[in-house]
Structure 1
Amino acid sequence: MGGRRGRGIEDVVVVGAGAAGLACARDLCARGLRVRVREAGDRVGGRLRTDRVEGCVVDAGFQVFNTAYPQVRGRLPLRELRLRPFTRGFLLCDGDRRTRFADPTKAPRQALSGLVSGLGGPRDIAALAALTGFAALGPAGRVRDVPDVSTRQALSRYGFRDPFVERFFRPFLSGVFLEDGLATSGRFFHLVWRSMARGTLCLPAAGIGAVPDLLASALPPGTVALESPVAQLTDEGIVDGDGRVVPARAVVVATDAHTAARLLPGLAVPPHRTVTTYYHLASRSPLGEPTLVTDVRRRFANSVVLSEVHPGYAPRGYALVATSVLGGDGDGQEKAVRAALAECYGTDTAGWELITTRTVPAALPAMEPPLPLSRRTRVTAGRYVCGDHRATGSLQGALASGARAAREVAADLL
């Protein structure tokens, strides 16, 4: 693919302006290549999308932003996101009883409340401290040195008893993995736990959509073309939505897995996890702190009062509550969730207004063992693919996959 560029021919067309595509484009531009990003939607970001609904800041499904991700630290001026942190730790709801749990290496007094409440025994608390300490301080590469097993098997190897796994890890991790069987790769679990131990979970003041906006702002003006779908790839480049051939020396497909497989026939599509988030507007906050709430009975994956994270997420005098459940929006599900929230928050939810429901059908790739933490992006000569479905289901995975695609494209073109 080397040689001189032709007049009017782009060096690289990147299809998709999600996190992976934006990272790839930025790295290629930094190498002096002429890049064009084509995005079918009306804004950048893909699943990292924020809308305004009835005066509320609503993300496309509940999101968190982790400051410990290496790609995040290397690419984003975090101060510009005006990050607002969640409380360290979370509240575990069991009926009308709530137990506060925190990292025993940072808040031992709060962690010991788990002992007092009967959530875990001394062995479990000690194992949690050892796991968290190793995750925070141990080398990240160590995770690749051991055979990959499911998270459930990994937790057993760490020394946790089954009752603690069921009451602590299973409800909490269901909202992270978007599956509640702990079937997800133990490698990925270790990386997630490491990032939580080393970083802070936050939300940008303007919503998660501020992240791709900031990534896009680092590109040369005119690099991203919105509402510019790609119909197919050809030997010369791409065919746009109007049937025009756009020549390019290389094409990087940085879309979701199903769209990528349509553009690159034969590409394997991994199974995906679906999540639905209900956004309720309440006349007052049911919890006066920005703390994640999980449910032992797994009636919902997690819930949080977003306006406690940042007051600007809701109109003045109101509270915005986001509650996520696994799967789609089934008949009667919102009513059942509302009843569960009334019990867990200890308040009457009958007057809460459901302002919107967001279902994300392919929110995360299923990441069962053995899980490769990264995959080559080169599919055929001049054709590449990147995204979290080619790495790990996280912002870190998407950015890292985009960075890898840029390296492989540059190696072929320069």
Structure 2
Amino acid sequence: MSAEVVVVGAGLAGLNCARTLTAWGVEVVVLEASDAVGGRIQTHREDGFLIDRGFQVYLTAYPEGRAVFDHDALRLGAFDPGAWVWVGGAFQHIGDPFRQPTQALPTLAADVGTLADKLRVLRLRQSVLSGSAEDLWRRPERTTEAALRERYGFSERMVDRFFRPFLGGVLLDPELTASSRAFEVYFRRFSEGAAALPAGGMQALPEQLAAALPDGTVRLGARVDGVAPYEVRTAEGEEIRAKAVLVATDALSAGGLLDLTPPRTKGTVQIAWAADAPPIDAPVLMLDGEGGGPLNNVQVVSSVQPAYAPPGQALITGSVLGEPKADDVSLDVAARAQLHRWFGPQVGGWRTLRIDRVPDALPDLPSLEPPERPARLRDGLYVTGDWRRNGSINGALAAGRHAAEAVLRDFGHDAP
């Protein structure tokens, strides 16, 4: 068998690479080892509930997402801007007064930071929205914590009670050691749009991309165990010749195929519960501002996206950051004890649906210098993925598009 381009991996990067190439009339075959597209983006269907693998959201302000997804067809349900932060035995409301003016007074009164801190949030918002997003990738690189304290002047209380759990949930980085560039770009996206969930679960994103490809482009259950310039070998012994081979797998798999040193990954554990009624019927992100854990963030996802739960039921999920040593039963018991303090005895009646340990949730990229690694390794062999750019949906889509453009240029097309 032969094809002009073979893409190994049907995650967002590989699918968007294939989408870009086929739009230029290039023949593409995408080989995916698993039985579904999406890579790390997966949605489980269990007892009528939709449960994403790990806490994931789609940001409507992602520029790459706006270019490739049909938002109307996804039927997105959105979180309210801001968050509810558990501090001192009560939830403190941190909102976005630019989009929800009624949240201005509760935000100013919230016992999360000082009044000066609330004003510094406005300065942060203005800073990340000025100029283009590309300008943010060119800012001096430092840790997120250094940027919060030194560049923006936030107090220790504001950092610990709000930014640490908020960015812990978004970047899986409660230590705030991640790139300040990634933090500022994320904060821009949250300020420009909404965090949302598709009616079909997060896996609806890669499924929509795959459905737009020519019939037969994606082959599921096709595990690749060897790549070389101009050739791919599957685990079944099939050899596929190509003008270009592009590896778009996760970092660990790519490292094995290409003899590259992959970055470390950041993990998380998600616990999903079913309830007869939501503890709070609001589409909000709830954060542990006290650091008592084990849960960092909790959300009634069926209040954000009703399609995630059957009628008359609520779906609640909570995230434990890192890779805890406690077994699933012990973790569930500890999480319920925490939520009992938040919501009272109703938590005892919740049913645990599943516990997902996701050790590879995000690539660990403490430095984004340079902001993107080159896709072309040598003649006929390329690599892409969010770990080559930045750990996000937008990063994966952009990396896939850029890799396709590198192939097109080598093919002699007048690509961007």
Deviation at 1:349, TM superposition (A): 1.2
Please list, as runs of the form range in 1=range in 2, the aligned pairs for 1:4-403 lying within 5 A after superposition.
9-156=2-149, 157-265=151-259, 267-298=260-291, 299=293, 300-328=295-323, 330-331=326-327, 332-403=330-401
Deviation at 1:347, TM superposition (A): 4.4
1:162-190 CA deviation, whole Å, 9 max, x = no partner? Answer: 21111111111110111211111100000
Deviation at 1:109, TM superposition (A): 4.5
How many residues in Structure 1 have an aligned counterpart in Structure 2?
A: 406
Distance in 2, Cα, partners of 1:77 & 1:244:
36
Distance in 2, Cα, partners of 1:14 & 1:80:
26
Distance in 2, Cα, partners of 1:146 & 1:352:
46
Distance in 1, Cα, partners of 2:31 & 2:138:
39
Deviation at 1:13, TM superposition (A): 0.2
The answer to whether the 8 A contact 2:58-2:197 is kept is yes
The answer to whether the 8 A contact 1:41-1:226 is kept is yes
Q: 1:297 to 1:93 in 2, by over 3 A?
A: same
The answer to whether the 8 A contact 1:96-1:346 is kept is no
Bigger Cα displacement from structure 2, 86-95 vs 327-336: 327-336
Superposition RMSD in Å = 1.5
Distance in 2, Cα, partners of 1:115 & 1:234:
58
Distance in 1, Cα, partners of 2:91 & 2:272:
22
Deviation at 1:374, TM superposition (A): 1.4
1:334-385 CA deviation, whole Å, 9 max, x = no partner? Answer: 2111111121234431121111011111110112135432111111221111
The answer to whether the 8 A contact 2:18-2:404 is kept is yes
Q: 1:243 is aligned with what amino acid?
A: G
The answer to whether the 8 A contact 2:169-2:296 is kept is yes
Bigger Cα displacement from structure 2, 109-118 vs 38-47: 109-118
Q: 1:161 to 1:303 in 2, by over 3 A?
A: same
The answer to whether the 8 A contact 1:92-1:98 is kept is yes
Distance in 1, Cα, partners of 2:322 & 2:352:
18
The answer to whether the 8 A contact 1:105-1:129 is kept is no
Provide the identity percentage. 40
Unaligned runs of 5+ in 1: 1-7
Bigger Cα displacement from structure 2, 184-193 vs 379-388: 379-388
Bigger Cα displacement from structure 2, 388-397 vs 94-103: 94-103
TM-score, length-scaled by structure 2: 0.94
TM-score, length-scaled by structure 1: 0.95
